[in-house]
Amino acid sequence: MTTQTETRKFEAEVQELLGLMIHSLYTEKDIFLRELISNASDACDKLRIEALTNDGLLGSDEELVIRLEVDKEAGTLSVIDNGIGMSRDELAENLGTIARSGTRAFLEQLKQAKGEAAAELIGQFGVGFYSSFMVADEVVVTSRRAGSDGGSRWASKADGTYTLEAFDVAERGTRVTLHLKPRAEDADPQTDPDFTEAWTLRSVVKRHSDFVEHPVQMEVEAQEPELDDEGKPKEDGATKTVVRMETLNSRKPLWSRDPSEIEAEEYNEFYRHIAHDFTEPGKVVHVRAEVPVEFSALLYVPKAKAMMMMEEPDSKSRLMLYVKRVLIMPDCADLLPPWLRFVRGVVDCPDLPLNVSRQTLQANPITRRIQKHLVSKVLGALREMLADEREDFEGFFEAHGRVLKEGIYQGADDEQRLSKLCLFPSSTQEGLTTLGDYVERMPEDQDAIWYLVGQDPATAASSPHLEAFRAKGREVLLMGDPVDEWMLQRLNEFDGKPLKAVDRGEVDLEGEEAKEAREAQEAEHKDLLQAMRAVLQDDIEEVRFSSRLKDSAAVLVGSEGGVSPAMERVMREMQGMDMPKTKRILELNPEHPIVAKLESFHGDEARKGALEDYTRLLYGQALIVEGSPVPDPAAFAGLVTRLMVGSED
């Protein structure tokens, strides 16, 4: 064994990695601490495992701990553990080369990425020990392997080389000392935190390493009241500075505990902590799976829209991903599909590598398995909530139902698992109904689930389209959310029953006799209907008599399988102005007195103008009633005014 100091060169890749790290613009420098604590924790685990077969290894120093030590004057921060330690050769091997599989590939990516993208990559990847050089200009590691008596010292300034020498280390384990880069007095603690400040370290540990199994401790100074001879605080309120050992991490991941031993309040507290939602969660989903993948998860379905819960701009799900209690990704998008993005929570999977990146995670079969498992658990919880806690479910659905409907649109409604959970207002029911309940209420001779998409459910509820359905006691689901229309592109059927829009195509509510009567009336007024069609030919495909109306004079009908006018407007806006306008049908109520009036104009050449005005008025009204704008509001207003002053002749 060499005893004198030797200087060695880093492996080329290491130097490259260091260079990238030092010069990257990465702002979240504090992840270095997560990496060092995680290494220290692994070292403790390794010792514990070796000690199982090697009795003497632990000695009297049984409690495995990680300590942070600050020397403000020297500007150093040390991370110390009494774990397995490293021999001189291990120091050279572990801290001079890149052993980790995946790191080389990462490096390639890092080289190609620039600026912020590189920064993002570093954050995602977790770059292990070498990330120390983001905050330190020199790092010194002294270590003593458990069971050996000598120690070694490794030191580097990231200048292409490191030194190795024998060093007297009193106790087993490793001390990593960072000589922190100088920091301007007035530096912004947000972007350039002071890692010699207790509160900085406390918050970084809380954020990234709260659930590390071994205690992370630090000596902190505190003010305590001075006591008098009787042991009571002195009257003058004098205090003295004392030094206390504080454990910074809570160490108790709820998710790894037995659910039967967890109080509801503990679950709620954790929800508040991670979701920043001060209401109680709607449902807690606590999963501890062993096969085929070992993982635990603690997920929450919110009861309503939390104040702080903002819709993610990129519509991705976000769960916290831990690997062996170390936070790897605070916002992992791959563990749940986007249409469950309202779920908050944590997944801990010891089978994933600590250095897993977003890219490798996506491709990892473990992720897919976990996702599948979690999806079925969350949907199960939602079904339970719908069945047993209807009020909570309605609150949840009001806030997040659109996200589920998006899932239907995206094709995730296998076995109607999402459509079963959707709630809709109905034309015959108080409150909201499910598709399942609608189908149960359907009379035998009804073969379709009827719905109407309006500007909003209230507009839909007052639509003339419902008149004949009301008269016949037929229930219509009232939809009014733009996402409903998207959803309906996919949701054509529920429980074997087709979904049909009441304002499109034919509706078959009248009996044979009524139908024949209507057709006879239509034949009788054929010329009138054609004349009206000629007036509206730019907008309207056909003018015909309706079987839909009871009180109103006119209504607009789309083609079967077409979209609602509101949707058409949205699509036109999205796709530019060129999208062709689909012409709809203007249906008149054959029983309405207006028909006779129109016919009287039609028969009188001198009142041709009045027929035109009335036709346009009927069309305009039909548009207004459904919530659509009239094409030329000024002309429409002019028409109405003329009618008001009685100049229709």
CA 645, 589, 492 angle in degrees (round to 5)?
Answer: 125
Nearer to ligand ADP, 174 or 357 (CB): 174
User: How near is the Cβ of 160 to ligand ADP at its closest, in Å?
Assistant: 17
> How far apart, in Å, are the Cα atoms of 157 and each of 12, 135, 179, 616?
15, 12, 9, 83
Instruction: Note whether 195 and 131 are within 8 A (CB).
Output: no
Of 138 and 591, CB closest to ligand ADP: 138
Nearer to ligand ADP, 131 or 433 (CB): 131
Q: Which of 138, 140, 173, 168 is nearest to 152 (CA)?
A: 168
Task: Write out the binding residues for ligand ADP, residues 558-597 only, by CB under 6 A.
Answer: none
Minimum Å gap between C-beta 117 and ligand ADP is 22
Cβ proximity to ligand ADP, 355 vs 426, nearer residue: 355
d(CA 84, CA 478): 66
Question: Which of the ranges 124-132, 440-448, 478-486, 503-511 carries the binding residues for ligand ADP, by CB under 6 A?
Answer: 124-132
Residues facing 140 on adjacent strands: 155, 177
Nearer to ligand ADP, 83 or 407 (CB): 83
Q: Which residue number has the CB closest to ligand ADP?
A: 128
CA distances from 319 to 297, 300, 301, 307, 322 (A): 10, 10, 12, 19, 10
Site string for ligand ADP, 17-56 (x = CB under 6 A): ------------------x---xx--x-------------
Determine the angle formed by the axes of helices 594-602 and 608-626, rounding to 10 degrees.
150
Pick between residue 100 and residue 183 the one whose CB is nearest to ligand ADP.
Answer: 100
98 within 8 A of 17, measured Cβ to Cβ: yes
Query: From the CB of 294, what's the least distance to ligand ADP, in Å?
Result: 20
Residue closer to ligand ADP by CB (options 13, 519) is 13
By three-state DSSP, how is residue 6 classified? strand
- The nearest distance, CB 177 to ligand ADP, in angstroms, is 12
- Taking the complex as a whole, the smallest distance from the CB of residue 79 to ligand ADP amounts, in Å, to 7
The residue with tokens 């990593």 is: 176
Least separation in angstroms between residue 192's CB and ligand ADP is 23
My answer on whether omega of the bond before 292 falls inside 30° of 0, hence cis, is yes
Q: How far is CA 266 from the centre of its chain?
A: 23
- At its nearest, how many Å lie between ligand ADP and the CB of residue 76? 16
**Pairing label, strands 295-302, 281-289:** antiparallel
| Residue selected from 209, 355, 552, 564 as contacting ligand ADP according to rule CB under 6 A | 355
Rank residues 67 and 344 by Cβ distance to ligand ADP and give the closer one: 67
List, in sequence order, the alpha helices (H) in 181-303: 198-209, 264-275
By CB under 6 A, the residues from 522 to 541 that bind ligand ADP are none
> Which of 24, 76, 132, 174: binder of ligand ADP (CB under 6 A)?
174
Total number of residues binding ligand ADP (CB under 6 A)?
17
Binding-site member from 57, 354, 366, 412 for ligand ADP (CB under 6 A): 354
Q: At a CB cut-off of 8 Å and minimum separation 6, what does 212 contact?
A: 37, 38, 41, 66, 249, 251, 325, 326
Task: Decide: is 129 part of the binding site for ligand ADP (CB under 6 A).
Answer: yes
Residues 6+ apart with CB under 8 A from 554: 464, 546, 586, 587, 588, 589, 594, 618, 619, 621, 622
Name the burial class of residue 446, with classes exposed (0-12), middle (13-18) and buried (19+) by CB atoms within 10 angstroms of its CB.
middle
Closer residue to ligand ADP in complex, CB, 83/454: 83
What residues from 245 to 264 belong to the interface with ligand ADP (CB under 6 A)?
Answer: none
Is 20 within 8 Å of 108 (Cβ atoms)?
A: no
Encoding tokens for residue 46? 């390794």
Question: What minimum distance in Å lies between the beta carbon of 83 and ligand ADP?
Answer: 5
94 or 552: CB nearest ligand ADP: 94
Which amino acid belongs to residue 417?
R
In terms of CB distance, is 35 or 392 closer to ligand ADP?
35
User: What is the closest distance, in whole angstroms, from the C-beta atom of residue 91 to ligand ADP in the complex?
Assistant: 8
CB of 95 to ligand ADP, least distance (A): 6
Residue (317 or 357) nearer to ligand ADP, CB? 357
Q: What is the rounded CA–CA span in Å between residue 616 and residue 643?
A: 12
Write down the least CB distance from residue 386 to ligand ADP, Å.
Answer: 44
Nearer to ligand ADP, 84 or 549 (CB): 84
CB of residue 44 vs ligand ADP: minimum separation in angstroms? 8
SS3 620: helix
Question: What mask of x and - would describe binding to ligand ADP in positions 69 to 108, judged by CB under 6 A?
Answer: ------------x-xx-x-------xx----x--------
Instruction: For the chain, give the number of residues.
Output: 649
Structure tokens at 187: 């530096």
> Which span sits near ligand ADP by CB under 6 A: 2-10, 125-133, 434-442, 452-460?
125-133
Burial profile 426-443: b = 16 or more Cβ within 10 angstroms, e = fewer: bbeeeebbbbeebeeebe
The least CB distance from residue 100 to ligand ADP, in Å, is: 5
* 354 vs 517, beta carbon nearer ligand ADP: 354
Q: Residues with Cβ < 8 Å from 640, sequence gap 6 or more? A: 617
Give the shortest CB-128-to-ligand ADP separation in angstroms.
3
How far CA 584 is from CA of 99, 481, 503, 508, in Å, comes to 68, 22, 10, 18
Residues that bind ligand ADP in the complex, under the rule CB under 6 A? 35, 39-40, 43, 81, 83-84, 86, 94-95, 100, 128-130, 174, 354-355
